[in-house]
């Protein structure tokens, strides 16, 4: 497959995107059970878009469910990374109209379906594989973040909160809240509320340059 090179911004999406010069080769998301990681691999051209999307969602959820935290937490964490103006198509874009603004779902299941479907449609629509690769890379990154015995607990919490914000799955509050079932594993603090973990928006902005 021939496709054009693209000038990349180190901290963001391609500065310019060119269409493929030949039809994109169908690829699928595969899971390695031993490492519990996903990757993009070539697949049969006869597989439909719906089948690719359904399989991709299944593989990602298999990895997330094999983790020691609630899979919805990992979905929101992934969303916190991808739903950014600096992300590649189909998630990023200008601050006035980033790609993720078209999302209208109400559940974590809606989110992962939107993420996988959007990435595949962009790739097979001859607009580049940057979005699909970003999904796979950051899904693995999210898994790594939660396999480090709490070393990056606060970073992970901030990504979850950001994902909940960007997907509009919670009411805005001055002190943001993570429900108990989505908290980081192995965390207990008698001083904390039993039902939530709290951060202020200032805490989050100090760790991320939110666009």
Region 114-138: mean pLDDT is: 95
Q: Assess if residue 43 is contained within a domain.
A: no
Give pLDDT tens digits for 160-200: 999 998 998 865 444 467 888 888 755 444 334 434 444 43
Buried-exposed string 92-115: b where 16+ CB fall within 10 A, e elsewhere? bbeeeebbbeebeeeebeebbbbb
| Distance separating alpha carbons of residues 176 and 200, to the nearest angstrom | 6
Using the predicted structure, report yes or no on whether residue 17 has a pLDDT greater than 60.
no
Give pLDDT tens digits for 107-121: 999 999 999 999 999
Q: Assess if residue 121 is contained within a domain.
A: yes
Q: Assess if residue 79 is contained within a domain.
A: yes
Region 33-37: mean pLDDT is: 96
Q: Tokens standing for 201?
A: 């928006």
CB-CB contact of 73 with 182 (8 Å): yes
Q: Assess if residue 130 is contained within a domain.
A: yes
Residue 14 has what DSSP assignment? Answer: B
Q: Assess if residue 134 is contained within a domain.
A: yes
Q: Tokens standing for 90?
A: 């189909």
- The gap from C-alpha 199 to its chain's centroid, in whole angstroms, comes to 21
| pLDDT band (50, 70, 90) for residue 20 | low
Q: Assess if residue 27 is contained within a domain.
A: no
> Bigger pLDDT: 139 or 25?
139
Q: Assess if residue 85 is contained within a domain.
A: yes
Q: Assess if residue 202 is contained within a domain.
A: yes
pLDDT at 90: 97
pLDDT at 15: 45
pTM of the model: 0.78
Q: Containing domain of residue 94, as a range?
A: 70-207
| pLDDT band (50, 70, 90) for residue 36 | very high
Measured CA distances, 85 to 100, 103, 150 (Å): 8, 14, 28
Q: Give the closest residue to 173 by CA, choosing from 197, 209, 208, 207.
A: 197
Q: How many domains does the chain have?
A: 1
């Amino acid at each position: 497959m021939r496709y054009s090179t693209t000038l990349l911004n180190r901290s963001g999406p391609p500065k310019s995107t060119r269409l493929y010069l030949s039809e994109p080769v169908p690829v699928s998301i595969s899971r390695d059970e031993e490492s519990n990681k996903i990757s993009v691999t070539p697949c049969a051209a006869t597989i439909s878009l719906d089948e690719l999307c359904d399989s991709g969602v299944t593989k990602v959820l298999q990895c997330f469910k094999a983790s020691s935290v609630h899979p919805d937490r990992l979905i929101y964490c992934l969303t916190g990374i991808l739903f950014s103006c600096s992300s590649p198509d189909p998630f990023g874009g200008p601050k006035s109209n980033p790609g993720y603004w078209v999302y209208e779902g109400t559940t974590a299941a809606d989110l992962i379906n939107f993420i996988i479907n959007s990435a595949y449609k962009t790739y097979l629509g001859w607009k580049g594989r940057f979005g699909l690769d970003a999904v796979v890379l950051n899904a693995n990154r999210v898994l790594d973040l939660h396999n480090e015995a709490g070393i990056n607990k606060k970073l992970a919490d901030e990504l979850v909160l950001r994902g909940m914000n960007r997907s509009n799955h919670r009411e805005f509050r001055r002190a943001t809240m993570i429900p108990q079932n989505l908290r980081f594993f192995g965390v207990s603090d008698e001083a904390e509320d039993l039902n939530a973990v709290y951060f202020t928006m200032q805490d989050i902005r100090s760790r991320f340059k939110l666009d």
